[in-house]
A and B are shown apart, each in its own frame.
Chain A
Amino acid sequence: MLGSYRAEILKLRKRSAVWVLFGAGLVLSLIFGYLLPYLGYATGDDNPQTDGVPRAEILRGMLPARVVDNAIGGYPIFAGALALVLGAIVIGGEYTWGTLKTILTQRPRRGTILGAQFLALGTMIALWVLGIFAACALCSVGIAAAEDGSTSWPGVGDLLQGLAGGWLVLMMWCLAGAVLAIAFRNVALPIGLGVVWILGIETLLAGVVSSLLPSLKWLANVLPGTNAGSLVFSVTGMAASDAPPGVRDAVGGGRALLTLLAYCAVFAVLAAWTTRRRDVT
């Protein structure tokens, strides 16, 4: 298992597409977490973009105390979509390049290889989460220093809870991308379907359910995006008015955690079952 894990890490480490995705997630986090709010803050209370929010309030949102909000606030939607793309390109690439047959004819069993792939993806996503957190922390420290703001940090427990919650959200979407790639033995189709689901269909469903079909609220509340948003809302403890798109208090944090864990388990089992049973042609 260790050898397979090292092989998978080597593949991910040397693949530029992985770093492009990580870079995109990081840059988007900084743009929406710090750059745009700071521009709003710098242009004063009259800026229509700030929608009348006082400058002091905008500044508070960028200080170290709110670093977890900014680091993982975008995970349910845009970083989630990037994580899904990551899962799809890493697993789907084995089919499009035909490399699956090459690695399956080495020594480890199919389940071992798939396990190593998921473990390596989990490791890289943890690095990604830490990288985004570090960049956000640096920005918040810089802004606090420049604007003479408070440099108090969240407690270690809150930090760990926030980062672990963020990791779980990204891992769930990554596994979704992986299982779609295995199902379609492809890269493009899983990415297309997955991204349309995350960015469009879930939001649309939630909107339709809340406005037209309230009796189907239970359905909206079991969707992965809804639970991802609820977990992030729960671990950050942000106010509903500050919540970025996709982050809301639809279900409690405990339920969201269990639902996301269940999704991860279902995706992993489906992937393993399909990989072990199917012919590699």
Chain B
Amino acid sequence: MDALVEVSGLTKRYGGTLAVDGVDLTVLPGEVYGFLGPNGAGKTTTLRILTGLIAPTSGSVRVLGGRPGDARVLKGTGSMIESPAFYPYLSGLDNLRLLAEYAGVSRQRIDEVLELVDLADRARDRFSTYSLGMKQRLGVAAALLKDPELVILDEPTNGLDPAGMRDMRRLIRELGTEGRTVLLSSHLLGEVQQICDRVGIINAGRMVAEHNVEELRGEQELVVRATPRDDAQRLLTRFGNVHQYDDTLRVQVDPDRAAEVNRALVEAGIEVSELHTTERALEDIFFELTTAKEKTDVG
């Protein structure tokens, strides 16, 4: 299966600042790919490169088999990068009309995307009067205007209320099930966990992981609540990696060894008040990966 987005060794340098540092990324047809990272990690810079807005310093980038920014590539790509930007004195409808003129899209498609994002009722109002959520929805409508094969959305739920976020997630999921490919950036881990098939985690300009969401979450852990905690943590390192989460310890160990872990703790005079297995949340993995990276940098 040919990838729709193939990025290899991508680097972007602004003067002395390395915004993106050797990123490799692959987005396959029909998948919803989550591009996850804290603010300032290099997500938006990468997406700008993919849409041809900025040129990479080095590395290779192929989008839909072509060079970012080429007319053929842009025709098959719909995007919303950073905050949605439209002409404030024009209505939502007129903003879409002029984008349709640029892209060679029919008037009928404008009506369709307005319905899709539930903005048809306010389409004739000026963009400047829109709430943040409505602006965001118009941004998504603009991204879908060309009926694109690849949809690139940068933080699409920013500014949406909970109901709006839910609707947006549903819409993105639908885009994925329609066979469209979606590349979605977010710093909201729950969001990515709910709607993405695969996820790439970027931190400080570097890709620190790229896996299926299920694969990433697949490793089970033992959750241990024990007193004294420091002694328990020291002992548990014999079984696997240990990290603290709230007031519990999480041990990456085969759950079948739970009894053995319990016995070791008790024999060491440590009181165990809770011990069970859990699936790791993406949030844990994210912090683990990004913190590990920071520690490596400091070291």
Contacts of B54 in A (CB 8 A): 279-281
Would you list which residues of chain B between 158 and 217 have a CB under 8 Å from chain A? Answer: none
Contact pick for B90, options A6, A14, A104, CB 8 Å: A14
Q: Which listed segment binds B: A36-44, A54-62, A94-102? A: A94-102
B98-123 CB mask vs A (1 if < 8 Å, else 0) is 11011110000000000000000000
- Choice from A3, A14, A15 contacting B102 with Cβ under 8 Å: A3
Contacting pair A102 B48 (CB below 8 A): no
* A102-140 interface with B by 8 A CB criterion: 102-109, 113
> Is the C-beta of B86 less than 8 angstroms from some C-beta in chain A?
yes
Choose one: A14, A99, A279; the contact of B85 (CB below 8 Å): A99
Cα distance A113–B71 in the bound complex, in angstroms: 12
- Chain A 76-105, CB within 8 Å of chain B: the 1/0 string? 000000000000000001000111011111
Binary interface profile of B, 236-250, with partner A (CB < 8 Å = 1, else 0)? 000000000000000
Q: Which of B74, B81, B104 contacts A101 (CB 8 A)?
A: B81
Chain B residue at smallest Cβ distance from A99: B85
Q: B79 interface residue, CB < 8 Å from A?
A: yes
Residues of A contacting B94 with CB < 8 Å?
10, 14
Tell me whether A144 is interfacial, beta carbon within 8 Å. Answer: no
Please name 4 further chain A to chain B contacts, defined as beta carbons within 8 Å, in addition to the given A99-B86, A101-B48, A106-B146, sorted by A numbering.
Answer: A3-B101, A6-B101, A98-B83, A281-B54
Asked if residues B98 and A11 are in contact (CB atoms below 8 Å), the reply is: yes
Q: Assess A102 versus B71: contact at CB under 8 Å? Given A14-B94, A107-B104, A280-B53.
A: no
- The answer to whether B101 touches A4 (Cβ under 8 A) is yes
A280 to B45, CA, bound (A): 10
Which size class do A's interface residues fall under?
Answer: 20 to 34
Instruction: Report the separation of the CA atoms of residues A166 and B79 in the bound assembly, to the nearest whole angstrom.
Output: 42
- Which residues of chain B are within 8 angstroms of A101 by Cβ–Cβ distance? 48, 51, 53, 81-82, 85
Question: Is A281 a contact of B48 with CB atoms below 8 Å?
Answer: yes
CB distance from B223 to the nearest CB of A (A): 44
Q: Is the CB of B102 within 8 A of A106?
A: yes
Query: Contacts of A7 on B, CB cut-off 8 Å?
Result: 98-99, 101-102
How many Å from the CB of B89 to the closest CB on chain A? Answer: 6
Complex Cα distance, B101 from A4, in Å, reads 6
Known A-B contacts A10-B94, A281-B48; A103 and B89 likewise in contact (beta carbons under 8 Å): no
Q: Nearest CB to that of A109 among chain B residues?
A: B71
- In chain A, residues 246-281, which have Cβ atoms closer than 8 Å to a Cβ of chain B? 279-281
- Check if A279 sits within 8 Å of B55, measured CB to CB: yes
B118 to chain A, nearest CB (A): 21
Which of B53, B83, B88, B98 is within 8 Å of A105, CB to CB?
A: B53
The reply on B287 being an interface residue by CB < 8 A is: no
B63 to chain A, nearest CB (A): 12
- Return chain B residues, CB-CB under 8 Å to A215: none
Query: Does A16 touch B at the CB level, under 8 Å?
Result: yes
The answer to whether A106 and B81 touch across the interface, beta carbons within 8 angstroms, is no
Bound together, the chains give a CA A220 to CA B87 distance in angstroms of 40
CA distance A15 to B89 in the complex (A): 7
B185 vs chain A, min Cβ distance (A): 15
Chain A: which residue is nearest B50 at the CB level?
A: A105
Taken together as a complex, chains A and B put the C-alpha atoms of A6 and B104 apart, in Å, by 11
Q: Which residues of A contact B (CB under 8 A)?
A: 3-4, 6-7, 10-11, 14-16, 93, 97-99, 101-109, 113, 279-281
Interface 1/0 per residue, B19-33 and A, CB below 8 Å: 000000000000000
Contact partners of B81 in chain A: CB under 8 A: 101, 105
**B98 & A107 in contact (Cβ 8 Å cutoff):** no
B77 within 8 A of A: yes
Alpha-carbon gap, A102 to B94, bound state (A) = 14
Decide if A107 touches B102 in the complex (CB within 8 Å): yes
* CB-based nearest A residue for B145: A106
Q: A7-B98, A279-B54, A280-B48 are in contact. Are A105 and B77 (CB under 8 A)?
A: yes
Hey, which chain A residues are within 8 Å of B98, CB to CB? 7, 10-11
Which one of A103, A109, A279 has the greatest number of beta carbons of chain B within 10 Å? Answer: A279
Q: Shortest Cβ distance from B76 into chain A, in angstroms?
A: 10
Kindly list the 7 A-B residue pairs having the minimum CB-CB distance in the complex, ordered from nearest: A98-B85, A279-B54, A7-B101, A106-B102, A7-B98, A280-B53, A106-B103
State A102–B82 Cα separation when bound (angstroms): 10
B43 CB within 8 Å of chain A: no
On chain A, the residues within 8 Å of B87 by CB distance are: 11, 15, 93, 97, 99
Query: A16, B146: Cβ atoms under 8 Å?
Result: no
A52 CB, min distance to chain B CBs, angstroms: 49
> Given the complex of chains A and B, what is the CA–CA distance between A157 and B88 in angstroms?
43
- Do A105 and B55 touch across chains, with their CB atoms under 8 A apart? no
List 12 A–B pairs whose Cβ atoms lie within 8 Å, in order of A's numbering: A7-B102, A15-B89, A101-B48, A101-B81, A101-B82, A102-B85, A105-B53, A105-B74, A106-B74, A107-B75, A108-B71, A109-B71
B79 contact set on A, CB distance < 8 A: 105
Asked if B97 is an interface residue, CB under 8 A from chain A, the answer is: yes
B residues in contact with A97, CB < 8 Å: 85-88
Q: Does B52 have its Cβ within 8 Å of any Cβ on chain A? A: yes
Q: Tell me, yes or no, whether B10 is within 8 Å of chain A by CB.
A: no
Q: How far, in whole Å, are A40 and B80 apart by their CA atoms in the complex?
A: 60
Nearest CB of chain A from residue B148's CB, rounded to whole Å: 10
A105 near B51 with CB under 8 A, answer yes
